[in-house]
Amino acid sequence: MNTWPVELTLDNCIKCTICVTACPVAAVTDRFPGPKYEGPQAARFRHAGQPTPDHSVDYCSGCRVCNMVCPTGVRIAEINARARASMVAQGALSWRTRLRNNVLARPETLGRWGYRVAPLLNALLHSTWARAAAHVLLGIDRRAPLPTLVREPFTMWFHGRPTPRGAKRRVIYFHGCSTQYYEPRVGRAAVRLLEAHGFEVIVPPQTCCGLPLLSNGEFEAARALYRDNVRRLVGYARQGYPIVGTSTSCTLTLKEEAPELLDIHDDDARLLAERTFDLSEFLVSLAEEGESTPVDLQPVARRALYHAPCQYRAHRLGAPSLELLRRIPELDLVESRADCCGIAGTYGFKREKYDIAMRVGRPLFDQVRESGVSVVICDSETCRWQLAHATGVPAVHPVELLAKAYGV
Amino acid sequence: MRPRVDVLVIGAGLAGLMAAWQAAVAGCRVRVITRGPGALFWHAGCVDVLGYAAQDTERPVAAPRDALLHLVNANPAHPYARVGLEGVETALSALQQVCEAAGYPLRGDLSHNWLLPSAVGAFRPTCLAPETMVSGDLARRDPLLIVGFEGMLDFYPELVADNLAEQERPARSVRLDLPSLRERRQLTPVTLAQLFEAPEFRRQVAEALRPKLGRAARVGFPAVLGVHRPLEVKQDLEAKLGREVFEIPTLPPSVPGMRLYTILVEAVRQAGGDVFTGMEAVRAEAENGRVQAVFTEAAARLNPHRAHAFVLATGGLLGGGIVADADGHLREVILGLPVQGPESQTKWFRQEFLASEDHPVYAAGVAVDERFRPVGAKGVPLYTNLFVAGMTLAGDDVIRRRALDGVAVATGYAVGQHAARSVQEAMR
C-alpha cells in the first residue's frame, strides 16, 4: 500500500513523458497539455494560499491512465484532483459551473426525491426543451447520456422480499447510487449471485460514496458523505464482514480515493478500506481459496465485448471480472483494447467536455461496432451509459451475465 | 491455494515480454505485471547484440557472431554463454519473425553490425534494426539530409548533422516550420508520429522539404514516421521525395520502442496471456524452496499473484530491479536476492571515470545457474521455480558492450522456455 503523501510523489517524476503519450485526453485536445505538465510540473508552482497558476487542469478527466503507466509511481491523477479542489476553494470556477457540477455530482439527491414521480420526472428531464435549457443555462450537454430513474429503487425490492434462510456466512452489499435509482437490476443480480454462493446479504443504510463530488473538486461536501459511510459501515468491517460493491468507482472510493484525497487516515477509514471489495475481486478470491463454483455454469451464447473501465483498472487487481466471464460456456468474449470510453464520471456530461469525451471513446466505439457484438460488458455505470449512447449496443454489468450463467 | 496462472512474469521490457511470449506459446497461462511500461518506451527500437568487445573498446564490432564466440568461450558465466550462440540466434530470429508478421521487419543478422546514427549523430553499432532505419547506415558515405521540426523539443537536426559531418559523412540539416504544427501546444514524438499517419500531413512535409533536398541521397527524420504503419509512411515519403528515407531514434518517449512494445504485448495476448500495468511488485512469499506468490501494491491491500513459476525481469540498477542502499549495499528489490557486485561504494567505479575499462557496479546483478535460477554462495539455486532474465542478471556491463537488447532477447527467450518446462514438471 502506498502511504506516500500524494504531492511528494512528484519528486519521483523522471520526465519520461510516457504519461503524456498514454493520456487519452491530451491525445484529442490541446486544451489539456498532458499529465506530466499538469501534474508533477505544474504542482511545483502551486502553493497553499496562492492563486492557482493554470486552469487547464480542470480538463483532466481523472481516468488515472497516467498513474497506471507511470514507471516511477507518481500519483498524477491525485495531484490533479487536488489541484482542481484548490481551484474550487479559491473561487476559480464561476458560480454557474459550480452549480452545474453540483447538480451532476449529487445523483443521490435527485434519486431520493425523484423516484416517487419517476415517469413524470423522466419525461421532463429527457424532453428536448428541458435538455436545451439545461444545455444553455447550466452547461449539461444536451446530447449526454442521462440515465432513466426507476420507480422501484433497489432497496425497496431488497427489503420487500422474504429473507432466504440457511446461509452460514454474511456479506455486506454496497449498492451505490446508480444501482439504487437507475439500474436496480445490477443489485438484484449481485444479491442472487452472492446468495448462490451461500451468503446472507445485508444491505445497511448507506449514502453516496462521494466520488462525483471528489472529481468535481467539491472536497468538503465529499468529506461529509464519506464520513457518513464510514460511520454506517465500519461496525460491519469490525465484525469481519466483507463489504462488497458492484459499482467499481464506489468501491475504489471507499478503498482509496476518499481517504487519500481527503487525508483521512484514521483506523476506521483504514479498516473500511481493507474490508471493501469489488464483487468480482471477491468472487475470484473465493475460488482462489479453493471454493468450487456452487453450480455448473449454464451457457450464455452471445458475442460480447468486455471493457475494463479506468476506475476498475485503478484497483490494480488485474481483470477479475474477465476471469469470471471466461468461465461462462459459449460466451464469445472480445476484449477491449481501449483505455477509456471518455465519460469519466461526470466529465462527458459537461457542455465544454462532451466532444472531448466522445473523441476519447472513439477507438472503443469503433471496436464495439466493428466486432459485431450484441452486448457490451462493463463494470462502471457511467461508462455503460456512454457506450450504449455512442454505439447503440446495450451495456450490462458483468454480474448480470454471471447471474444468468448461474441460473439465478 | 490454487494458482490462477502458471507463469507470472514481473516486468514488461524486452526480456519480460520475450519470456512471457515464449511461455505462453509453450501452452502456459501467463500473466505479465509491470509498474509502468518503462524500458521499451525509452528504447531505440534496435537490437544491439554486441557493439564493442571487452578487449577492444575503441572500434565497433563488425561481425557479432565471431565476437560472441570469443566472448562465450572467455566468460562462461556471461548471460550469452548460458544461452549459447545457437540460443542467441534462435531468440533473435523468433523476434524477427514476430515483428515481420506484424508488418514491421527487423533487418540484419549476426554476421554484420549496422552503423546507424544516434540522436546526437554518433555511430551506433547495432545488429537488428527496423526497416525504417537501415538506410541511415553510415558504412555508406553518400550525402545525408537530417530533418527536424520547429516546435519539437526532442530532436536536434543541427547537432546530428554537425557531428556526422565531423566524422566524414557529408550531412546537412533542415528544420521545417509547418503551419499545421504551429497550432499545436506541444509536439511529442508520439504526437508527430500520429500526424505522419495522415497522407495530408505527409504531403505538407514533402512539399516543404522538396526545395531543400539539394544533392542529398537520403533523408533522415526523427523516429516519428507513424505509430501503426511506419513502412507505409516511409515508402510514401520516399515516393514523394524521390530519395531514400530513414529514422533516427529520439529522446524518450521513443516511438520505435513503443512499436516493439505493442508487437510483443499483442503476441503475448494472442498466445493467451494477460499484461497488466500499474502493478508494482513489492514482496514475495516462498516455501520449501519454491516461490509461492508475489504481492503487488493495490488499492488498500496487497494483491497476491500465485503461480507455478515466476520470471524476474525487473531490470538492473537503471530499471529499478536492483537498488543501492545508502551505504552502497546492492539489493534485488522483490525477493532480496543476493547481488553479485562490488561490496562497498568505494569499489563501484574505477579511478578514472572515463577509462576504457568497465566500472564494476555496472556489471552487478543476480548470479544464476544454467537454467537461470538465482543461486546462493555455493552455486545452489535458492528457489527451484524462479527464473531471472535481462538486466537483472550479473555478468557484464551490457550497456558499455552495447549488448543490452541482445541479452534481454536471448535470456528472455530462454527463461520463457525454462519457466514453461518447470510448470510442466510441477504438474506432473
Nearest to A345 by CA among A313, A384, A374: A384
Look at residues A63, A89, A115 and tell me which one is the last residue of a structural domain: A89
pLDDT band at B75 (very low <50, low <70, confident <90, very high): very high
Are the C-beta atoms of residues B222 and B250 closer than 8 Å to each other?
yes
When divided into structural domains, chain A yields a total of 2
- Whether B1 shows a pLDDT value over 60: the answer reads no
Instruction: Identify the band that residue A1 occupies on the pLDDT scale cut at 50, 70 and 90.
Output: very low
Q: What is the distance between the alpha carbons of residues B326 and B55, in angstroms, rounded to a whole number? A: 33
Please, what is the end-to-end C-alpha distance for chain A in angstroms? 36
Please choose, from the candidates A303, A199, A71, A17, the residue with its C-alpha nearest in 3D space to the C-alpha of residue B250: A17
Residue B345 has pLDDT above 60, yes or no: yes
Report helix, strand or coil for B372. coil
Q: Which of A89, A123, A146 is the last residue of a domain?
A: A89
Q: Tell me phi and psi for residue B404, to 5 degrees.
A: -60, -50
Cβ neighbours of residue B312 closer than 8 Å, sequence gap 6 or more: B10, B11, B321, B332, B334, B335, B337, B366, B374, B386, B387, B388, B389, B392
Q: Which of A14, A28, A316 to mutate to test the interface with B (most CBs of B within 10 A)?
A: A316
B149-169 residue pLDDT tens? 999 988 999 999 999 999 999
Q: Count of alpha carbons within 13 Å of A405, Cβ hemisphere only?
A: 21
* d(C-alpha A213, C-alpha A225), whole Å: 9
CATH architecture of the domain covering B7-103+258-427:
3-Layer(bba) Sandwich (3.50)
* Inter-residue contact A298 to A405 (CB < 8 Å): yes
Residue A318 counted as domain residue: yes
The distance of B336 to chain A (nearest Cα, Å) reads 19
For CA atoms A197, A397, A317, A276, give the dihedral sign.
Answer: negative
Alpha helices in B247-366, H assignment, sequence order: 255-270
Which range is least confidently modeled, A10-14, B263-267, B367-371? A10-14
Q: What is the DSSP string of B118-170?
A: -TTS-EEEESBEETTTGGG-TTS-S-EEEEEETTBTT--HHHHHHHHHHTT--
Query: Which is more confident, B344 or A176?
Result: A176
Among residues 234-253 of chain A, which lie with CB inside 8 Å of chain B? 252
Distances (CA, A) of A253 to A129, A229, A247, B37: 35, 11, 10, 26
pLDDT at residue A368 greater than cutoff 90: yes
Q: In this structure, what DSSP letter does residue B23 have?
A: H
Residue ranges per structural domain of chain B: 7-103+258-427, 134-248
For the segment A172-202, what is each residue's pLDDT rounded down to a tens digit? 999 999 999 999 999 999 999 999 999 999 9
Q: A166: Cβ–Cβ under 8 A, 6 or more apart, which residues? A: none
From CA A378, how far away is CA A362, in angstroms rounded? 16
Number of continuous H segments (helices) and E segments (strands) in chain A: 22, 8
**A215 φ/ψ angles, rounded to the nearest 5 degrees:** -80, -5
DSSP letter at A37? I
- Secondary structure of residue A386 in the 3-state scheme: helix
Task: Answer whether residue A48 shows pLDDT above 80.
Answer: no
Cell of A76: 498524477
CA distances from residue B329 to A239, A396, B313, B393 in whole angstroms, order as listed = 44, 53, 21, 17
CA-based nearest distance B179→chain A, Å: 16
Q: Which of B1, B274, B303 sits opposite A319 (nearest CB)?
A: B274
CA B277 – CA B268 distance, rounded (Å): 14
Contacts of B41 in chain A (CB under 8 A): 16, 18, 21, 71
DSSP assigned state of B271: T
Rounded CA separation A357/A114 (Å) = 27
Please, which pLDDT band fits residue A3 given cuts at 50, 70 and 90? low
Q: Which of B41, B194, B320 sits opposite A16 (nearest CB)?
A: B41
Residue A400 counted as domain residue: yes
Residue A30: predicted pLDDT: 87
Candidates A1, A18, A34; nearest CB to B36: A18
Read off the CATH number of the domain in which A341 is found: 3.40.50
**Of A219-223, A392-396, B45-49, B397-401, which range is least confident?**
B397-401
Task: Verify whether the Cβ–Cβ distance B4 to A18 is below 8 Å.
Answer: no
Mean pLDDT for the stretch of residues A230-245: 98
Mean pLDDT of B250-278: 96
What would the grid cell of residue B25 be?
506459446
For A63, half-sphere exposure in the C-beta direction (CA atoms, 13 angstrom radius) is 31
Q: Which residues between 164 and 183 in chain B have a beta carbon less than 8 angstroms from any beta carbon of chain A?
A: 183
Q: Which domain holds residue A320?
A: 303-406
Report the mean per-residue pLDDT for chain B.
Answer: 95
At residue B2, does pLDDT exceed 80? no
- Of A89, A114, A136, the residue at which a domain comes to its end is A89
Q: Give the pLDDT score at B357.
A: 80
Q: Does domain B134-248 correspond to CATH entry 3.40.630.40?
A: no
Is A333 an interface residue toward B (CB < 8 Å)? no
Strand order in the sheet with A199-202: A199-202, A169-174, A243-245, A276-278
